[in-house]
Amino acid sequence: MIVIPAVDLRAGRCVRLREGRADQETVFSEDPVATAVGWKARGAERLHVVDLDGAFAGEPRQAALIAEVVAAVAPLPVEVGGGLRSLSALEAALETGARWAVVGTRAALDPEFLGEACRKFPGRIIVAVDGRGERVAVRGWTEVAAEGVVDVGVRARDAGAAALLYTDVTRDGTELGPNVEATAALARAVELPILASGGVARVADLVRLAAVPRVIGTVVGRALYTGAIDLAAALAALEG
């Protein structure tokens, strides 16, 4: 399992939100490009870049900055997300050089769109399954949909998604520990590669997630930025 640093962009800065709430923001860097380059220098094998403004607006808002980040860390693989709710937005995101595009809201609410996206961009669509309890949170996590977490995961598998990104939104940005049980349940039900996210606070959390079958990576944000987790130490622990 790999550790994937999160680079969350809001108003041109690198920030972290608590439980996805816009009013619970901590700014960690005024220079996201330098931040991303720093993670690459420290040994990151992949980056997770999110346009938070886009996630709230429903369409990309920081495309130029994302393209700059992707170019600065090339050839490091990058997954990008935030407001990617049309085929044209997906295409533009992938044209930056990003390896994968992350689709959440539209994937949960529009099965036809999800299938079309996976057909048009085979192997390059990651479906974000953002859980609030057993149901999925959508539109920048501001609403809870009727669709269940496992239902969306199964739909993504059947559509041909490359992987799932599972986040327990009640843990995200809290450093309260990941929801390992829910992550494992989704992995068992869907049988797709899983990226875990939300609440990771210490290296021991990463070790627990690494033991879950089909979890291939964990996205880590606040704990890396506060120093609660040292990236080099985490990588060494997982290699061991």
Cβ–Cβ under 8 Å, residues 50 and 20: no
Tell me the average pLDDT across 149-157: 96
Please give the pLDDT value at position 51.
97
Tell me the average pLDDT across 106-119: 95
Cβ–Cβ under 8 Å, residues 20 and 34: no
* This model's pTM is above 0.75: yes
More confident residue, 171 or 230: 230
State the CB neighbour count (10 A cutoff) for residue 11: 11
Please give the pLDDT value at position 142.
84
The catalytic site residues sit at: 8, 130
Please give the pLDDT value at position 174.
76
Confidence of residue 240 (pLDDT cuts 50, 70, 90): low
CATH number of 2-239: 3.20.20.70
